[in-house]
């Protein structure tokens, strides 16, 4: 049994594939690619396949991790080639490698967010206002958790925040807390900032560029 970490890109219309359907999609792809998956033991054996940090619906990812285990020997290059030959549009295997870090080492995620407004004035105003709020250290919002809904200061979960505007477009590059215990959805951060100014965007694009560890080094 050999552990393998698949890194995939998810964009285009594929961002609207839910996590449950994504699980089914990847399971079918691995089988169609004839990858010798390792199956769990017990009464109901199933292929070992774990998404380390599932993407929220509607968000793209440039390098998302999926752990599998295989039987026998197959090169990483062959696994990548076989899988990409059967992947649906919008999903691409960008790398296959040996897992270097444990899943519980994921502590943050880096995002690039584009937001479009009706005009340049609205974009500039939102950019300045959002920066002021993050700099103030206080942005309260209701956040859903396993224990229910509670009010959380989102600024405490923002590790880095850069924002600028050009014409009617706002660019945000941010690092947010991510992991099994503490996690901030980029959509919640953006919606909360917009709500502070009763602002309305005409379009948005949220891309998770990479996952990071506690010291903000790259998770591999």
Would you identify the CATH topology of the domain 2-99?
Alpha-Beta Plaits (3.30.70)
E strand or H helix at 108, and its extent?
Answer: strand 108-116
Q: Would you say residue 75 has pLDDT above 80?
A: yes
Token pair 């033991």 is at which residue? 41
| pLDDT at residue 1 in the model | 83
| pLDDT at residue 208 in the model | 98
Contact between 116 and 169 under an 8 Å Cβ cutoff? The reply is: yes
End-to-end CA distance of the chain: 20
Nearest to 220 by CA among 207, 210, 208: 210
How many residues in total does the chain contain?
220
Q: Would you say residue 42 has pLDDT above 90?
A: no
Q: Which tens digit of pLDDT belongs to each residue from 86-96?
A: 999 999 999 99
CA atoms within 13 A on the CB side of 136: 12
Distance of alpha carbon 34 from alpha carbon 9, whole angstroms: 21
Q: Would you say residue 43 has pLDDT above 90?
A: no
Q: Which tens digit of pLDDT belongs to each residue from 136-155?
A: 999 999 887 767 788 999 99
Domain coordinates of the chain in residue numbers?
A: 2-99, 105-212
Same fold, 2-99 and 105-212: yes
Comparison of pLDDT for 77 and 148, the residue scoring more: 77
The pLDDT of 34-52, averaged and rounded, is 83
| pLDDT at residue 44 in the model | 74
Q: Would you say residue 28 has pLDDT above 80?
A: yes
| pLDDT at residue 66 in the model | 96
Q: Which tens digit of pLDDT belongs to each residue from 123-136?
A: 999 999 999 999 99
Comparison of pLDDT for 40 and 35, the residue scoring more: 35
Res. 41 pLDDT band, cuts 50 70 90: confident
What is the CATH code for 105-212?
A: 3.30.70.920
pTM exceeds 0.85: yes
In the chain, the percentage of residues whose pLDDT exceeds 70 is 99
The pLDDT of 45-67, averaged and rounded, is 92
């Amino acid at each position: 049994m050999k552990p393998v970490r698949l890194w995939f890109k998810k964009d285009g219309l594929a961002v609207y594939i839910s996590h449950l359907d994504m699980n089914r999609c990847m399971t079918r792809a691995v089988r169609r690619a004839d990858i010798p998956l390792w199956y769990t033991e017990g009464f109901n054996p199933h292929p070992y396949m774990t998404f380390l940090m599932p993407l929220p619906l509607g968000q793209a990812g440039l390098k998302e991790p999926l752990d599998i285990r295989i039987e026998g020997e197959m090169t990483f290059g062959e696994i990548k080639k076989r899988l990409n030959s059967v992947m649906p549009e919008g999903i691409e295997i960008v790398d296959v490698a040996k897992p270097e870090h444990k899943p519980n080492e994921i502590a943050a995620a880096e995002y690039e967010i584009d937001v479009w407004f009706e005009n340049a004035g609205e974009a500039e105003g939102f950019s300045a206002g959002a920066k002021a709020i993050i700099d103030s250290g206080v942005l309260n919002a209701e956040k859903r958790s396993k224990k229910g809904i509670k009010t959380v200061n989102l600024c405490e979960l923002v590790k880095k925040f850069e924002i600028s505007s050009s014409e009617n477009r706002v660019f945000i590059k941010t690092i947010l807390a991510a992991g099994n215990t503490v996690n901030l959805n980029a959509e919640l951060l953006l919606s909360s900032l917009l709500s502070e100014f009763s602002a309305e965007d005409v379009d948005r694009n949220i891309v998770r560029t990479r996952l990071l560890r506690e010291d903000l080094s790259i998770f591999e």
